[in-house]
Amino acid sequence: MNNEWITRVDPIEPVPGPLHGLTMALKDNIDLAGVPTTAGDPRTTEPAKDNAFVVDQLIAAGAVPLGKTNLDQYATGLVGTRSPYGACHSVFSSEHVSGGSSSGSAVAVATGQVDFALGTDTAGSGRVPAAFNRLVGIKPSRGLVSARGVVPACRSLDCVTVMARSVATARRVFDVMVAFDPDDAWSRRMSSLPHRRAGRVDGSVIGVPDVGLGLDPEYEQAWQATLDEAHRLGDVVKVDVQPLLEAADLLYSGPWLAERWLAFGDKLDDSAAVDPTVRTIVRGGAALTAAAAFAGFDRLATLKRATEEPWTQIDALLLPVTPGHPTLAEVAADPIGVNSRLGRFTNMVNLLDLCAVAFPGPDRADGLPFGIQLLAPAGHDLSVIDLAALWCGEEVPPSAVDTDVLLAVAGAHLSGQPLNDQLVRRGARLAFTARTASSYRMYLVDGPRPGLTRTLSEADGPGIEVEVWSVPAAELGGFAATIDPPLAIGPLELSDGQQVLGFLCTADAADPERDITASGGWRAYLAGD
Q: Is the pLDDT of residue 460 over 70?
A: no
User: In this predicted structure, what is the pLDDT of residue 529?
Assistant: 61
Mean local confidence (pLDDT), 322-334: 98
pLDDT at 404 over 80: no
Contact 309, 240 (CB under 8 A): no
CB 40 within 8 A of CB 85: yes
pLDDT value of position 427: 76
Tens of pLDDT, residues 238-294: 999 999 999 999 999 889 999 999 999 999 999 999 999 999 999 999 999 999 999
pTM comes to 0.81
Question: Average model confidence (pLDDT) for the chain?
Answer: 91
Residue that wins the pLDDT comparison between 489 and 108: 108
117-163 tens-digit pLDDT = 999 999 999 999 999 999 999 999 999 999 999 999 999 999 999 99
Helix, strand, coil share (%) of the chain residues, nearest 5: 35, 20, 45
Is a pLDDT exceeding 70 seen at residue 473?
Answer: yes
The pLDDT assigned to 337 comes to 97
- Rounded CA-CA distance 262/274 in Å is 16
Which neighbouring-strand residues pair with 68?
Answer: 7, 26
Residue 431, CA distances (Å) to 311, 406, 464, 474 in order: 12, 8, 17, 18
Going by pLDDT thresholds of 50, 70 and 90, the confidence category of residue 400 is: very low
Region for 520 from its dihedrals, namely left if φ exceeds 0, alpha if ψ lies in -120 to 50, beta otherwise: left
Q: Give the chain's length.
A: 529
Does residue 23 or residue 502 have the better pLDDT? 23
Distance (Å, whole) CA 146 – CA 130: 21
d(CA 24, CA 164): 10
- Distance, in Å, from the CA atom of 19 to the CA atom of 80, rounded to the nearest integer, reads 28
d(CA 25, CA 111): 12
Between 26 and 505, the higher pLDDT residue: 26
Q: Long-range pairs for 87-90 at CB < 8 Å and ≥24 separation? A: 87/3, 87/328, 88/2, 88/3, 88/4, 89/2, 89/328, 90/132, 90/133, 90/325, 90/368, 90/369
Instruction: Report, as residue numbers or ranges, the catalytic residues.
Output: 27, 101, 125
Q: What is the CA radius of gyration of the chain?
A: 25
How far is the C-alpha of 305 from the C-alpha of 34, rounded, in Å? 45
Q: What is the mean pLDDT of residues 84-88?
A: 96
Share of the chain above pLDDT 70, in %: 95
CA distances from 218 to 92, 115, 133, 135, 213 (A): 15, 30, 16, 19, 13
